[in-house]
A = this chain, B = another copy of it.
Amino acid sequence: MKTAIIGATGYGGIELIRLLSNHPSVEQIAVFSSSQQGVKMTDSYPHISERFFESLQDISIEALQGFDVIFLSTPPGVSAEWSSKLSAAAKVIDLSGDLRINDPAEYEKWYGRETASKEILNKAVYGLSEWNREQIKEAQIIANPGCYPTAVLLGMIPLVKSGAVDAATIIIDAKSGTTGAGRSASAMTHYSEMNDNLKIYKVNEHKHIPEIEQELAGFLNDTVTITLSTHLVPMTRGMMATMYASVPEGFDEQKIKEILESSYKNTPFVRVRPHKQMPSTREVNASNFCDIGWVYDERTKRLTLVSVIDNLVKGASGQAVQNMNIMFGLEETAGLNGLPVFP
């Protein structure tokens, strides 16, 4: 397969290169950037020296012909513009948030910019691999989920769908490593002030909120309004969503266990832990796994559910490759077989 990455210089891009380089069906990885034409990838990333030899090309329809799949790992607005043109010739997997929100008003409210065209939004399939596999198979454009939504939805969908939690009570306390904030140096992620420190940011204001609400609503057949706090943890990769919800009458530990386990028994990357065995983020480090731990508390009739992913893999580039595999009828785990790097 011939693949192209637009926006290859960010962390999403370099992680795609890592994964696609070891993918048995990938024979080409071309890299594109709007601003660094001609620059060798190894100038930015010496860790791929002697293994990856491509230089960045300018983005143009001509140059982007002949690929089987094109990944967009770009800032807001780019894929709204480009994905339609590109999808004529190739499958498109968009890692940005541009195509994830169906309701233009919601997109505009949370993103503060104009949404993509209705036509593209209609074509784009939300790429939560485990839950939309059938649509992904047929899709020409994938809106690859955000990192927080991936962690949250994989944990919550089974329970919301089956009524095992009261959706109106969902509270999500999410924590991320700093790579989620991208490669640009900033005061927020300056080592001297991020090290040995824990920060909370964008409380109830994160762009991923409408994405989570939209997808949960789909399984609930009703609107849902969540509370979401996001924290920055002094670690490079990894994301944990600690989720709380009330459990209605009629559900208990045993039923929750059955719901979770049956939901994921045939999926290669979601691992449901035994009751009370909680995962840590490092246990999925550099892998495409999502590990789910959970505790049902008899005292409060509340469920505490924990979902951990590597934000750059299952939360971004890994899930993109998983979606590519599904779209092209490949083994779902192709190129994603690596065990977590632990410790």
Interface residues of A, Cβ cutoff 8 Å to B: 11, 14, 17-18, 21-22, 45-52, 171, 173, 175, 177-179, 181, 183, 185-187, 189-201, 203-204, 225-227, 229, 231, 233-238, 240, 242, 244, 268, 271, 273, 276-287, 291, 293, 295, 297, 299-300, 302, 304, 306, 308, 337-343
Contact B242 A231 (CB under 8 A): yes
Contacts of A18 in B (CB 8 A): 338-339, 341-342
Contact B234 A192 (CB under 8 A): no
Contact A22-B236, Cβ < 8 Å, known A192-B11, A200-B280: no
CA distance A18 to B287 in the complex (A): 12
Name A187's closest neighbour in chain B (CB-CB): B185
Name A201's closest neighbour in chain B (CB-CB): B278
Contact A171 B299 (CB under 8 A): no
CA distance A233 to B306 in the complex (A): 15
What distance in Å separates the Cβ of A27 from its nearest Cβ neighbour in chain B? 15
Contacts of A198 in B (CB 8 A): 175, 233, 235, 238, 240, 280-282, 308
Contact B295 A47 (CB under 8 A): no
Contact A234 B235 (CB under 8 A): yes
Contact A279 B341 (CB under 8 A): no
Contacts of A284 in B (CB 8 A): 47
What distance in Å separates the Cβ of A104 from its nearest Cβ neighbour in chain B? 19
Contact A300 B179 (CB under 8 A): no
Of B178, B278, B339, which one neighbours A195 at CB under 8 angstroms?
B178
Contact B278 A203 (CB under 8 A): yes
Contact B227 A282 (CB under 8 A): no
CA distance A178 to B235 in the complex (A): 14
Of B48, B186, B273, which one neighbours A185 at CB under 8 angstroms?
B186
Contact B238 A279 (CB under 8 A): no
The contact sample of 15 A-B pairs, CB cut-off 8 A, is A47-B287, A47-B340, A185-B187, A185-B189, A185-B190, A189-B191, A196-B238, A197-B238, A197-B280, A200-B240, A204-B300, A204-B304, A229-B244, A229-B304, A234-B234
Contacts of A179 in B (CB 8 A): 192, 343
CA distance A268 to B196 in the complex (A): 25
What distance in Å separates the Cβ of A280 from its nearest Cβ neighbour in chain B? 4
CA distance A229 to B276 in the complex (A): 12
Contact B193 A343 (CB under 8 A): yes
Contact A204-B299, Cβ < 8 Å, known A192-B236, A195-B191: yes
Contact B236 A233 (CB under 8 A): no
* Highest count of chain B CB atoms <10 Å: which of A186, A190, A276, A278: A190
Given contacts A183-B192, A196-B236, 18 further A-B contacts (CB under 8 A): A46-B277, A47-B283, A47-B285, A49-B291, A173-B242, A178-B191, A178-B192, A189-B190, A191-B234, A192-B236, A197-B281, A198-B235, A198-B282, A203-B276, A204-B295, A225-B300, A227-B300, A234-B235
